[in-house]
Amino acid sequence: MEDAYARSVSEVLEFFAVDPTKGLTDSQVAEHGRLYGNNVLPQEQSTPFWRLVLKQFDDLLVKILIAAAVVSFFLALANGETGLSAFLEPSVILMILAANAAVGVITETNAEKALEELRAYQADVATVLRNGWFSILPAADLVPGDIVEVSVGCKIPADMRMIEMLTDQLRVDQAILTGESCSVEKELDATNVTNAVYQDKTNILFSGTVVVAGRARAVVIGVGSNTAMGSIRDSMLKTEDEVTPLKKKLDEFGTFLAKVIAGICILVWIVNIGHFRDPAHGGFFRGAIHYFKIAVALAVAAIPEGLPAVVTTCLALGTKRMARLNAIVRSLPSVETLGCTTVICSDKTGTLTTNMMSVSKVSVLQSAYDVPVVAEYSVSGTTYAPEGTLFDNTAEVQLETPANLHCLLHTAMCSALCNESFIQYNPEKRNYEKIGESTEVALRVLAEKIGLPGFDSMPSALNMLSRHERASYCNRYWENQFKKVSVLEFSRDRKMMSVLCNRKQIQIMFSKGAPESILPRCTDIMCNNDGSTIRLTPEIRSEIESKFQSFAGKETLRCLALALKRMPLGQQALSFDDEKDLTFIGLVGMLDPPREEVRSAILACMTAGIRVIVVTGDNKATAESLCQRIGAFDNLDDFEGLSYTASEFEKLPAVQKTVALQRMTIFTRVEPSHKRMLVEALQHQNEVVAMTGDGVNDAPALKKADIGIAMGSGTAVAKSASDMVLADDNFATIVAAVAEGRAIYNNTKQFIRYMISSNIGEVVCIFVAGLLGIPDTLVAVQLLWVNLVTDGLPATAIGFNKQDCDVMKAKPRKVNEAVVTGWLFFRYLVIGVYVGLATIAGFVWWFLYSDNGPKLPYTELVNFDSCPTRATNYSCTVFSDRHPSTVSMTVLVVVEMFNALNNLSENQSLLVIPPWSNLWLLGSIVLTMLLHVLILYVEPLSILFSVAPLSWAEWTVVLYLSFPVIIIDEILKFFSRKSSGFRFNFRFRGVDLLPKSEAHDK
C-alpha cells in the first residue's frame, strides 16, 4: 500500500481486512504471505568466480598482450624452438596479467558486501497480534496487515502505519534513513502533502529505524523489498560502477596503441616484401615468417607490458600513504579519481557536524535591577563527553564554578531530574555514547559541565574520576539528592514534561518543554545573582521572548525552557492542573554542532577549485544556519538561488535545473533517491563527483558517485558501498586525500610518459634496423626483459616523487585531459628517437669499430643476408655473435636509466630537483643495473637472453651513447619553461597520444 500515509487509520485497516483488536487470522497470514511475499531482503546472486576472472581480461590492452604472447609462442614453434625458450616470453606476459587479474577479483568481491550488510538493519523479532493474542515472532514471518506493538529500544521490523498511541508520544530515530539529526515525533493523522518525502510521512514507521521514546501499535504495510530499506537495496543494485578517469585514459591508450601497432607491423612487413626471397631465409615462406617475427618484435616493443602492473603498484603505494592520513582506500582506482574531483556532495549530519546534540547557549535572568536584564552563557564542547566550560558573554569571562550561580545550578538540577536518557562510556570505542533522546542527552551533558556547588576544586576533582564514573557523576548526584515521586510525560498538546521530586521535606516539580508552552505558564522568574524569585513582568517576559526568537530564528537553535514549582508536602501524584504558576529558570539552546576543522577544510576545497554542496535530510533553515556557522560562506549575503529543498528543485524547469546545479550550495529535505539523482545530474554536467556520508540512506549515492567517501563511525552499509573510508570522520581528511590523489596522478603521468618514451625508442630501434637492412638489433626476449624489468622498477619508483608544494592551488584537471599532448608528445618523441638511434649506434659500432668486433665496412653490414652466397674474408657466423645485441641492449637499459632521472619532474631541471630527492628511484636504478649485470655475466641467464659479457671499452661506449639523453631533455625542459614551449604546444595541440573523450560518459 504505497499511499498509506495519506489514508486514515480505518481505511488502512479496511484495505488489509484486519481487526485492530484481534489481528490477522492464520488463514489471512497465509494469504497475505502469498500475495505480498515474506519480510526478508532477497539475497542477490553473487557474480560467479569464473565470471569475475574473465571480466579482468576484458580490456583492449590486455587482449593485445595476450595476442602477442600467443603469436610469439607459435612463431617460436614454427622456428623449431622448444623448451624454455619457446615458452619464456608468453609465460612472463601471462603471469603479469594473472597478477593484475587477482587484484581486480579481490576488489570486485569486496564491493558486493554492501548488499549483504543491509540485512544487519533488519529487526530479528517483533511483538505481533494474531488470532487475538500477542506473541513474539521472527520479524521475517511478518506480512502486510499484521498488527505490531513497538516500544523504546525496538528496531522497527517493517514499514508500518501508526494506528494507536499507547503513550503520550512516540519518537523514532530515523538518522540512518533520512540523515535527520533529531528524532522524529510520530502521529496518527493522515498526511496530505504532495510529493511527500520520508520526513513528511510522520505516521509511518520505517523498517530499520529505532524507537527512542514511547509505545504504540501499527499495521504492517510493506515487507522485504517493498520497504524503505528495500528501495535502498534496489537502488544499489541498479547502480553500475563508474569507470574512473585514469581507467578511461588507459582504455583510450589501448585503442590508440592497437591502431599504431597494427599500422607499424603491416608497414614493416610490406617494406620488406622484397627481402622475402633472400637466400639467407631459405625460401619465400620462411622469409615472410622471419619478417612477421620482426613485426611481432615491434609489437612487443610498442606495448608497455609492465604498464598495468606499474599503475596498480603506484596506486597501492598511494593507498598506504593515504592510510597514514586516516583515509582508508577500498578501491585502488579511486586514489587517482580524487585528483580530478570537482564537486564534493557532503552529508551534513555526522560529516560536517558531530551528530551529537549539544547545548551551546544558556540564557537566564541576571537580575531585574541589572542592565542588561538577561545574561547569556556560551557552552563549549561539541560531543557527549562531559568536557567543556561556560563562558559569560556579557562579562566576557570564563566561569570557574558555574554551579555557584543560582539559575545555572537549578538548570543543572532540572536537566538531570526531568530526564529519561543516559550517558555511558564505551571503552572499546573510547567515546561517550547516548541511550535515549538526543536532546535529553544534551541536557545531561550540560549538567555535567555546570558541575556541583560549594567546591572550589570541583573541576579538577571531577577530572580525577575514571571516564566511566565521570560520564554521569553530577547527574547521579542530583538523582541521589532528590527522590522522584511522580512523572507527567511529554505530550503533543502540552509540549512539556514534568517530574515531582522530594528532598529533605521539600516537594519540587521540575518542568521542561517548548518555550512557547512553558513561558505562558510562568508567573515568576528566578534571579541568577542571588537566587531570589520575582514576578515575571511583561517587560522581563518580552526580554526572554526576544532572546528565544534570537536563539530559534537567527541562530536556528533548538530551544527548551526550564521551570520549577514548590509543591505541597506529601503530594504523591501530578496532574495537568499542577503545571501552572511556574517559576522560570532559564532558556537553553542546542544544536548539532559543526566540526571545528570543517571551516578551514571547505576553504581549502574552494582554493583548489572544488565546490562543496551540503546535502541533508534536515530542514532548509537548519542547513543554511550551519553553513553560516561554519564560516565558509561568509561572503554570501543570502542563499537565494544557492539553497533548494528536494521538492523545490524537482519543480524547476529543465533549464533552471541546469543553472541551479552549477550554483547550488545546499540541498535539503532529501531522501536516498534524491541524493542519487543529484550525483547523476552533476555527472551529466561533466562534473567528477565525490559523495560523503555515513548512513544507510547514503549508500546508493555513495555507490553511484565517482568516489564515495564513508565515515569510519558510519554504518557498515555505507562503508561497503564506498570507495574510501575516513577513519577519523574528519572532513578535513578529504582535503589531504585530494592533495595526495593529485600527487599520485602527477606521478602516474610521469611514469606513463617515461614508459612511452622508452617504448618509442625500442620501436625506432627495430623499425630503423629493418629499413637499413642490418641484422636484428634486439631479439624479442631481450625486449621483454627491458620492458618488464628495466622499465618496470624505475617507473614504479617514480611513483615516490615528492608532492608539489602548490598541488592544491591548481584547479581540478579536466576528465578528458589527455595524459600526453602537444608539446609533451613532441618532447618524448625526440627522446624516444634518440633512444632508438643510440641503441642502433651501439650495434653498428661493434661491427664497424670495436676492437673485439670484425671491423666490417658498412656495406658488408647492410648486405649481411647475402653473405652465404658470396666470397668474404670473414665468417658469416659473425652476424649471429651475441656481443652486438648485448651492446645494443645495454645502451637501451642505461639510456633509460638516465631517462628515468629526467622524469623526477615534468619541467624542472635536475639542478633544481636533484636525483637524491627520490632515493627510491636511485635505488631502483642501482637494482636494475645489478640485474642487468647478472644476466650478462651469469652463464645460464646469458644464454637464455642471448647476451654476452662486455669489456670495459664496450661499457665506456655505452655510457658515451647514453648520457646525452640528459642534455637533450634539459634543453627541452628549458623551452617548456619559456614561451617557445607554449608556441610548440599550440602547434602540436592536435596530436594527442591519449585521445580526448568526446564527453564525460556516465
Q: What is the mean pLDDT of each run of 10 residues along the chain (1002 residues)?
A: 86 92 92 85 60 66 68 66 60 64 54 43 75 88 92 86 88 77 82 80 88 89 84 62 61 68 74 69 70 68 63 70 78 72 84 84 86 86 89 86 92 94 85 84 94 71 83 92 90 87 92 94 93 91 91 86 93 91 95 82 84 85 80 68 88 90 88 85 90 78 86 70 78 81 77 77 81 78 71 77 71 70 77 91 89 83 74 77 89 91 81 84 91 88 83 92 92 74 41 37 38
Q: Residue 521, SS3?
A: helix
Q: Decide if 347 is catalytic.
A: yes
Q: What is the dihedral of CA 536, 540, 544, 545, to 10 degrees?
A: 90
Closest CA to 401 of 460, 463, 330: 460
Peptide bond into 700 cis (omega under 30): no
Closest CA to 847 of 786, 888, 807: 888
Instruction: Name the CATH superfamily for 249-318+744-978.
Output: Calcium-transporting ATPase, transmembrane domain (1.20.1110.10)
Three-state secondary structure string covering 149-164: EEECCCECCCEEEEEE
Contact 336, 744 (CB under 8 A): yes
- Burial class from Cβ neighbours inside 10 Å (0-12, 13-18, 19+) for residue 368 reads middle
Chain centroid to CA 126: 36
CATH domain 4-41+125-238 topology: 2.70.150
Helix or strand holding residue 14 (H, E): helix 9-16
Distances from the Cα of 880 to the Cαs of 391, 862, 886, 946, in angstroms?
Answer: 90, 14, 12, 10
How far is the C-alpha of 456 from the C-alpha of 647, rounded, in Å?
55
How far is the C-alpha of 511 from the C-alpha of 413, rounded, in Å?
11
Tell me what pLDDT residue 292 has.
Answer: 73
Choices 2.102.10.10, 3.40.50.2300, 3.40.1110.10, 3.40.630.10: CATH for 359-589:
3.40.1110.10
The single residue of 159, 173, 347, 729 carrying the catalytic annotation is 347
Q: Hey, what amino acid is at 302?
A: A
Phi, psi at residue 292, to the nearest 5°?
Answer: -70, -35
Helix axes 473-481, 438-450, angle to 10 degrees: 90
Helix axes 731-772, 883-902, angle to 10 degrees: 150
How far is the C-alpha of 669 from the C-alpha of 674, rounded, in Å?
9
The CATH architecture annotation of domain 327-353+595-729 reads: 3-Layer(aba) Sandwich (3.40)
* Three cell numbers, residue 482: 532528590
96 C-beta neighbours (distance < 10 Å), count = 19
Alpha carbons within 13 A on the beta-carbon side of 234: 9
C-alpha distance across the termini of the chain, in Å: 34
Contact 901, 910 (CB under 8 A): yes
Contact 73, 87 (CB under 8 A): yes
Closest CA to 196 of 465, 2, 413: 2
How far is the C-alpha of 505 from the C-alpha of 528, rounded, in Å?
24
Chain centroid to CA 598: 17
* Three cell numbers, residue 614: 551540503
Helix runs in 773-818, H state only: 780-785, 792-798
Alpha carbons within 13 A on the beta-carbon side of 123: 28
Q: Quick one: CA dihedral 642, 643, 646, 647, positive or negative?
A: negative
Domain boundaries, the chain: 4-41+125-238, 249-318+744-978, 327-353+595-729, 359-589
Tell me what pLDDT residue 278 has.
Answer: 66
Helix or strand holding residue 390 (H, E): strand 390-392
Convert 652-683 to b/e letters by CB count within 10 Å (16 or more is b): eeeeebeebbeebbbbbbbbbbbbbbbbebbb
Q: Which residue has the cell 613485426?
A: 295
At residue 296's C-alpha, the angle toward residues 293 and 300, to 5°, is: 135
Chain centroid to CA 152: 34
Is the overall model pTM greater than 0.85, yes or no? no
* Three cell numbers, residue 4: 498509506
Helix or strand holding residue 432 (H, E): strand 431-435
Tell me what pLDDT residue 982 has.
Answer: 45
Tell me what pLDDT residue 530 has.
Answer: 86
Chain centroid to CA 941: 47
How far is the C-alpha of 17 from the C-alpha of 6, rounded, in Å?
18
Strands 422-426 and 431-435, sheet pairing: antiparallel
